[in-house]
Amino acid sequence: MLAFVMATLISGLDGGVAQALVHEVDVHSESMRNLEELCDGVGPRLTGSAGLHRAQTWAAAKLTAAGATNVHLESFALGKPWQRGSERARLLNGNGLPFDIAQWGWSTGTAGVVRGPVVVLDAPTLAQFEAVAASLAGKVVLLKRRPQPTEAERGDVPAFRERMGKLWGSTAYVAVLVPSERESELLEMAGGPFLKLKDRVAFIGRDQAALFERMIARGVTPQVELVLGGAFGPTAVNEANVVAELLGTERPDEVVILGAHLDSWDLSPGATDNGAGVVAFVEVVRAMHALGLRPKRTLRVVLFAGEEQGVLGSKAYLAAHAADMARIQAVFVLDAGAGQVVALADGKVDAWAEALTAAVAPTEAVGLGPIEVAYARASGSDQEVFRAAGVPAFSARQEQGDYWSHRHHSRIDTLDAVKPESLKQATQVSALVAWGLLNGDSLPHEPPDPNPVL
Ligand SMILES: [Zn+2]
């Protein structure tokens, strides 16, 4: 009862609604069961794959069953899809052991077995790379540091990328090995049609990279043999974002977007990245609908495709709806693992502080908070596309646990990474924040970023 009264006092919203949403999710949440279906039944959801298309059908059905209306897919051009093939690698001298390898997405394969001596490329600038590029011919390149744009080059990132691409293209290397940033020898996955580092590139474990360096330091050149079988499909395909709504009662033209990405990497079922966000937002819709709650503004869930390939789905969404952006009240993205929400991040603009603070206020009174309104970046995800367009857009910072160190983009992004209680809290916070934004004061738009780095 005390919490009920406090929620009413603190938020100015109906504290009963906050309590009811929290209770509904507490008692009837379908999130974990849905996440099991998505991970165990649908499986990996690489952009452009049959798995993602199965997931879109699954998600549309779930949103419809949850009570959403206007459930539909909005397609956009992807280009040729990419599919992993068989991949293996072995050290031919030294300890002679095979080692794990994971091909960079949207990078061409090796067309069979290739062999070569390992050399280290440590080139933080394009100029340093240029100076040694010719010497990489016939070598397997261990990429310790790759060129990053200098202050001057940052003004024209596409030109920088083009120059780097040309340099790689002129270099007759055998393959490129990228040390993983994950712990415990876990590999990573990355890449996309516009995130193409180069051809014939793959992640290897941290200690495997360190072993190569130890050998080189002892004067022994590692000799490796590897196969990268990933390849492109024959024809260009479309991808799609899944869209669903709960129509607003008073101002249906004003829209609050809850955004998560349905695509995942391909060597895991993507339980945390971003299955957890998907099922949380399906649950927000279900809980509001089940309670008969009708927001003043329209709630729109958008489950993006192609996030992992460089936020392609949100870019396509923005391009298709540019004229409507003024009517987007806010965008809230849940894509930082499956931990409890601790802050609304990425989006602290003074003009938004009051509305955001009011939106999170009820969380504390119902035992979910405190939730900070913070500036720090929480995750590079779809909110950044909207933010660059001036739309009030932010994301949840979540307790990270072993997310960034082990689970994120690794093959162990599995269901055991998701604690039901944490997912429940994230869902409840999302529901309350969404309800606040759907019914509270409007947030002013910012001037668009003239030179966004996305
Ligand atoms: Zn993600």
Alpha carbons 122 and 453: distance in angstroms, whole number = 24
**34 alpha carbon – ligand 1 mean position (Å):** 18
What is the C-alpha to C-alpha distance for residues 316 and 387, in angstroms, rounded to an integer? 15
- How far is the centre of ligand 1, averaged over its atoms, from the C-alpha of 272 (Å)? 8
Label residue 154 by pLDDT band (50, 70, 90): confident
The rounded Å distance from CA 417 to ligand 1 centre is 14
Using the mean position of ligand 1's atoms as its centre, give its distance from the Cα of residue 383 in Å. 11
Q: What CA–CA distance (Å, rounded) separates 328 from 386? A: 9
- Residue 167 reports pLDDT greater than 70: yes
State residue 192's pLDDT score. Answer: 84
34 Cβ contact partners less than 8 Å away, ≥ 6 residues apart: 62, 279, 282, 283
CA 373 to centroid of ligand 1, rounded, Å: 21
Give distance in angstroms: CA of 336 to centre of ligand 1.
7
Q: Which of 4-8, 250-254, 316-320, 381-385 is predicted with the least confidence, judged by mean pLDDT? A: 4-8
Ligand 1 centroid from CA 384, angstroms? 12
pLDDT at residue 13 above 60? no
Mean pLDDT along residues 313-340: 95
Cα dihedral across residues 168, 169, 172, 174: positive or negative: positive
Q: How far apart are CA 347 and CA 377, in angstroms?
A: 8
% the chain with pLDDT above 90: 77
CA 376 to chain centre: 17
Measured in Å, residue 273 CA sits from the centre of ligand 1 at: 4
Whether 437 shows a pLDDT value over 60: the answer reads yes
Residue 126 reports pLDDT greater than 60: yes
User: In angstroms, what is the span from residue 361 Cα to ligand 1's centroid?
Assistant: 26
> How far is ligand 1, taken at its centre, from the CA of residue 93, in Å?
39
Tokens of 337: 């693992």
State in Å: Cα 136 to ligand 1 middle.
Answer: 34
CA of 407 to the centre of ligand 1 (A): 11
Token pair listed for 377: 């970046």
State the average pLDDT over residues 124-147.
94
Ligand 1 mean position, distance from CA 299 (Å): 21
Q: How far is the CA of 223 from the centre of ligand 1 (A)?
A: 36
Give the distance, in angstroms, between the CA of residue 327 and the centroid of all CA atoms in the same chain.
25
Q: If DSSP states are collapsed to H, E and C, what string results for 224-236? A: EEEEECCEECCCC
Write a three-state SS string for 28-89.
HCCHHHHHHHHHHHHCCCCCCCHHHHHHHHHHHHHHHHHCCEEEEEEEEEEECCEECCCEEE
Query: pLDDT value at position 156?
Result: 87
Instruction: Say how many Å lie between the CA of residue 15 and the centre of ligand 1.
Output: 32
Q: Which residues of 224-235 are buried (b: 16+ CB within 10 A; e: fewer)?
A: bebbbebbbeee
Give the residue from 257, 222, 220 showing the smallest Cα distance to 242: 257
Residue 10 has a pLDDT of: 39
Residue 410 CA to its chain's centroid (Å):
13
pLDDT band at 309 (very low <50, low <70, confident <90, very high): very high
- Band of residue 161 on the pLDDT scale cut at 50, 70, 90: confident
Taking the centre of ligand 1 as the mean of its atom positions, its distance from the CA of residue 372, in whole angstroms, is 21
Q: Rounded to 5 degrees, what are φ and ψ at 145?
A: -135, 130
306 Cα: distance to centroid of ligand 1 (angstroms): 10
Q: What is the DSSP letter of 426?
A: H
Q: What pLDDT, in 10s, does the model give residues 42-55?
A: 999 999 999 999 99
Q: How far is the CA of 395 from the centre of ligand 1 (A)?
A: 11
> What is the rounded average pLDDT for all residues in the chain?
92
